[in-house]
Structures are given as structure tokens and as C-alpha cells.
Structure 1
Amino acid sequence: MKFHDHAHAAPVPKSLVLFAPAGVVAQPAVARKAARRLQAHGFEVALDDSALARHQRFAGDDDTRLEALHRVASSGCDIAMALRGGYGLTRLLDRIDYKRLARSIERGTRWVGHSDFTTLQLALLAHGVKGVTYAGPMGCFDFGAEAVDEVTEACFLEAMGGELEAVGFRTEAGFDGLDVKGRLWGGNLCMVNALLGTPHWPRVKGGVLFLEDVNEHPYRIERDLLQLHQAGVLDAQKAIVLGHFTDFKPSPLDRGYTLKTVVAHVRSLTRTPVLTGLPFGHVATKVTLPVGARVQLVVQGRDALIAW
């Protein structure tokens, strides 16, 4: 990890809204714990009016969640953080007022989340919204956890304060000297794939594509990566950076077939460098990344740096 080590004045408290655009918040106490922890960092935290709504597996029905998204966009808050992912934003994509969200980003609102939140982030790119959103922690998963990871917390705070300019990580050998520039985009692999062929697919060429996933067996990960490859997406990028792929159960049929097998196979197919080791995904330790920003990816030895 690379963070600034210079001393700086404490940032002015910023308004932060916790909202639920997708899956239901099963334990309201976890959301409230996240709010308290964020308040302890000096944020003026508000829970959106429908953050704890429930309808089937969702945080309220589609209308309720769409209204919440638009309400947060119009609120003028400095930070809009999703409480959790799950599933649900795909249902809203055809009805979102993208101009309203664009205005919120122009005014300085920083939208933050991961997992299902990838859907909204990529749709914003697809609809030509300028500015960046942030792939980073969420209320329940990160700030509502038993303990908040120090790297996750520090990286988020620096990103929100405008001080984070790069993240570093260790990757596999074989990429020494790599130096590319492009637009940073991606997120959850299943969500990325689900947008292919829709009006909400961002046609990024020459980008740096980062990917992660959870609860997906390696063969499913390979299938999704091959779909991106066969659609011409992988070859069109400057680099692909893989984060964590966690919480799957190996099968007795695997017989040596692993995530490493998947990566090796994908590398054999695309001319685009495929790096591993990005600290991002459904894991406690995650960096905060500016989706849509122009970045430079540099590798020296096994040390990789994404700077913006």
C-alpha cells in the first residue's frame, strides 16, 4: 500500500448519507454501527429515509429504491455510501435520471460502494456522466463489521479528502517494466458481464479493467472472463487487474483446476497483460479506486502502482 506520509490538518467534516439501492439491510443495528463509526471520523452522517425499508430481498420495492437514489443525488451531500450490495440496481437502470446523478457529481458528491454498486458505476460511464465514482467500502460490510480494517479505513478517508493519489500492491513476477495509461473501470465481474449488450454498457477502449467476485467457482469466473474476451473487451484494454475471488467451494471434479488455471488460460488467449494481487473485492482489506479516472499503471519488479 502507498499512502501519503506527510502530516496534514484534519479535514473539515463532510456530510455523508448511507442509503440502500439494492439488497435489504437484514440487521439495522449493523447500519447504525456503521453510522456511528463514520461519525467518529468527523462526518455528519444521515441514514436515508428508506435505508431500512424491506420488500422481498430488496431494501424497499423498485420505486422506493429509485426515489432514494434520486433523493440522495438531490441532497447535496458530500459522500453517498451504499449500505450493501446484493442485487437490485439492475432493476433500476432503465429508469434512473442520469442527468440528476451527473449534476450531483458535478457539485462534488462522491458516490462509494462495490459489489452490486458496480452496475450503477458502469451505467454512469455508459451514459456519458463526467467525473468519477469510487469503488470502495460499504456501510454494512466494512464500517459495520466487528472491526474495521485499518487499510480500508485509511484509504477511504484519504480518497474522500482528495489526498489519495495512488495505490500500490504486489503482483506476480513477469510484468516488470509495464507502464500503461488508460481509464480505470470495472468492479464485480458478474455485474460487468450482465451489462454486455445493453445500453448501460460502457464502451471503454484502452482502459485499465479491474475485476473481483464472490461465491463464484473458478469455472464460472473463467466463463465470465471468456465472455468478455470473446466480445472483444479484454483485447481492447491496456491491462486487466484482478482483485480477490473469494468464498467458493472447490468441487471433487476440479482435479487440479484452480483460479491459477483460469488466469493462465485467459493469459494464453489475450494480448492484454493480466495482473493479479489488487487488494479489492469482498474482503476486509480493500483500497478505494476512482472509477472513470485516467490512471497510470506501473510495475517495477513485482511492485505495482496505480496512480491518478
Structure 2
Amino acid sequence: MTKHIYIYSPASAVRDKAAFRRGVARLEGLGHEVEIDEAALSVHQRFAGDDTTRLAAIARAAASHADVALISRGGYGLTRILDALPYNALTKAIERGTEFVGLSDFTALQNALLAKTGAVTWAGPAVGEDFGAETGADDIMEACFDDLLSGQGEGTGWRMPMRDAELKVRAIHDATLWGGNLCVLASLLGTPHFPSVDKGVLFIEDVNEHPYRVERMLDQLRLAGVLGRQRAIVFGQFTGVRKVPGYDRGFGLTTVIDRLRSLLKVPVLAGLPFGHVPTKVLLPVGAKVELAVDGRDVFMVWGHRHASGHQHAAHTPHAH
């Protein structure tokens, strides 16, 4: 199953070129035709080229007719150019069948596109940190990516932490899935690039953010009325947290989640295998989903996003 994968750099410069090369080699080793954008390894300050260069790279990705347009890495850079993104070209590319995949800073493009045109993109891996991981690409991530390429992916599932075993959550139907990196998402609030999603399923993740910063961003979204309008809030993986010994005194992410649950009537779920972690599922940002909870097991289904008649079981990693 050879697919055309276009690799480009819309945000930070690729610093770990060895990981980039490993990622490209891995994708080629899986039998795919990999096309690397001419500016993929460009450097301007901290960015993969100046703003004009990166906008041109995004336009080339949209014009590539590739099956998948995959980011080299996240970092920072897309919020700088949201006003100038080629939204019509991106939407037409998606309508033609190009799937745009990424995470982290890519959250800005995904949600701006959702706000502007309603087009569906995929929260998923990047070339360097995922396919180019020094220890090898994660099996579940690759299986989910393969499902996207084959048009057979129809949903995902995971196991919530033991402490959430008694949560009672009604089944959710026909809800828009949206979200991504919490810090990037919060930065879009109050702008035309923030999606106006009511009764959706909002998923969030972040890296290197202390729990108090996570709580502050969540409070911003809560006080703005965003969280209370959703059908569910789903916590992905929050990694790289550095607590202050002797200072936090038990304040952590579980504290943040428990407080949020006490303030919202909306169910707050945890353990989604997505974020800056090796084992990550792919999630269709902007698609309609169904969500059901059975004890600690959560199942989220979006059906087929391609014209494929095949049925395929969802990958269900157990995230703790």
C-alpha cells in the first residue's frame, strides 16, 4: 500500500536532523513515496524559514496532491501566520483527499481551519519525534497511521486511570471532536481563529506545563464559557511536568482535574493516549464522533472518513 507523503515544516526549525532522517527512512521503509518540501530544513531564527517561506511551504503541501501532508515537527510559528494561511487551498486539498496530520503547534492551523471552513484535519504524529524516534516508532502509533492511509480507521479506545472507575457518563452522540494542545488553543481564544463549537468533545494535551499553568488556561476557557458548552472534556497526556519539591504540597494534575469536575456539569475524562508521548492515536479534528464509557473503558467512534467499505477494529491502548 504505497502512499504519497509530503513532509513540510510550518513552525519551528528542525534541530534534530538525525531524527528527521530516521523518520523519512522509516516512512520509506514502510513502502511510501516520501516527498520532502524544499524548505523543510530551512532555518530563520527559531523558525523553519521566515513567515513567507513557511506560508509558501504550506501552500506547496496543499498543492502536492499527496495522500498525507505530514509536519516535520511542532514548536512555535503557526500563530504568527494564521491571518495569511491559504484556507481555501487547504480546504480544497482536503476535499481532494489530502489528509493534514500533526500536533502541538499544528493545533493553531487545525482549529483556525475548523473555525474558517469546517475542514477536518488529523491530530497525530510528526516526522521527527514519532517516526524518527531513536528507540523506534511506536507500534500503536504506526498502526493508527496505517489505518488512516488505508481508510480503515473508524475510532479509538482507551482505559482511564483506576481512580476514575466509578465515573458515570452517558453516551454522547453526534458531537464535534476538537482541541489539541491546550496552550496553543488558549492563545486563540477571542480571535476569529477559535472554533465556535457547542456540544462538542474537547480533547486537550500539553508538555512542559506546570499543573498550575494548566489550571489557569482551563480557567480561562471555563470563564469564557467554552468548557460548559461541551458534551465532554477529555484529558490526553500532560508530560514533562516539573513540580517544585516542598512547595506544591500535593497540588498536581489530579488536583486540577478534580477541581474542574467540581465546577462543571460536563463529564471530564482522562487517559486519552495522545500528546507528546510515543503511543498516540490519530484523532479527526472537526469530525462528528460518538463516545461511550463502560467502567474505565472509553470508546470513541467516528466511522469511516474515506470511501472504504472495509471494517476495522479500533486500536485500544490502555493509557494510565
Instruction: Give 2:274's aligned residue.
Output: 280
1:39-118 matched pairs, under 5 angstroms: 39-118=28-107
SS in 1 for 2:228: coil
Instruction: Give 2:133's aligned residue.
Output: 145
2:154 paired with 1:169: no
Structure 1 residue runs of 5 or longer lacking an equivalent are 1-10
- CA contact 1:135–1:288 (8 Å) conserved in 2: yes
Instruction: Give 1:6's aligned residue.
Output: none
Instruction: Give 1:198's aligned residue.
Output: 191
CA positional deviation for 1:29: 2.6
1:1-308 matched pairs, under 5 angstroms: 11=1, 13-130=2-119, 132-146=120-134, 147-171=136-160, 172-181=164-173, 182-251=175-244, 252-308=246-302
Structure 2 residue runs of 5 or longer lacking an equivalent are 303-320
Distance 2:277 2:97 in 1: 28
Instruction: Give 2:312's aligned residue.
Output: none
- CA contact 1:93–1:123 (8 Å) conserved in 2: yes
Question: What is the letter of the counterpart of residue 31 of structure 1?
Answer: F
CA RMSD of aligned residues (A): 0.9
- CA contact 1:190–1:213 (8 Å) conserved in 2: yes
Superposition TM-score, scaled by structure 2 size: 0.91
Q: Work out the percentage of aligned pairs sharing the same amino acid.
A: 53
CA positional deviation for 1:118: 0.5
SS in 2 for 1:94: helix
Larger displacement relative to structure 2 (172-181 or 236-245):
172-181
Superposition TM-score, scaled by structure 1 size: 0.94
Question: What is the letter of the counterpart of residue 53 of structure 1?
Answer: S
1:38-64 Cα distance to aligned partner (Å, 9 max, x none): 112221001110000000110001000
What is the count of residue pairs matched by the alignment? 296
Question: What is the letter of the counterpart of residue 290 of structure 1?
Answer: P
Distance 1:47 1:29 in 2: 15
Question: What is the letter of the counterpart of residue 125 of structure 2?
Answer: P
CA positional deviation for 1:177: 5.0
Distance 2:166 2:48 in 1: 45
1:154-178 Cα distance to aligned partner (Å, 9 max, x none): 1111122111111110122233452
1:18-41 Cα distance to aligned partner (Å, 9 max, x none): 110001101223212111101122
Distance 1:241 1:161 in 2: 27
1:74-119 Cα distance to aligned partner (Å, 9 max, x none): 1111100001000000011001120010110000000000000000
Query: CA distance change for structure 1 residues 196 and 177 in 2, over 3 Å: closer, same or farther?
Result: closer
Distance 2:103 2:262 in 1: 29
- CA contact 1:35–1:46 (8 Å) conserved in 2: no
Instruction: Give 1:3's aligned residue.
Output: none
1:259-296 Cα distance to aligned partner (Å, 9 max, x none): 11000011111111000010010011100111111000
Distance 2:168 2:295 in 1: 5
Query: CA distance change for structure 1 residues 109 and 92 in 2, over 3 Å: closer, same or farther?
Result: same
SS in 1 for 2:238: strand
SS in 2 for 1:93: helix
Distance 1:57 1:245 in 2: 24
Distance 2:265 2:166 in 1: 14
1:167-226 Cα distance to aligned partner (Å, 9 max, x none): 110122233452002000000000110000001010000100000000000000000111
Distance 2:10 2:167 in 1: 38
Question: What is the letter of the counterpart of residue 178 of structure 1?
Answer: R
SS in 2 for 1:24: coil
- CA contact 1:34–1:139 (8 Å) conserved in 2: yes
Question: What is the letter of the counterpart of residue 264 of structure 2?
Answer: T
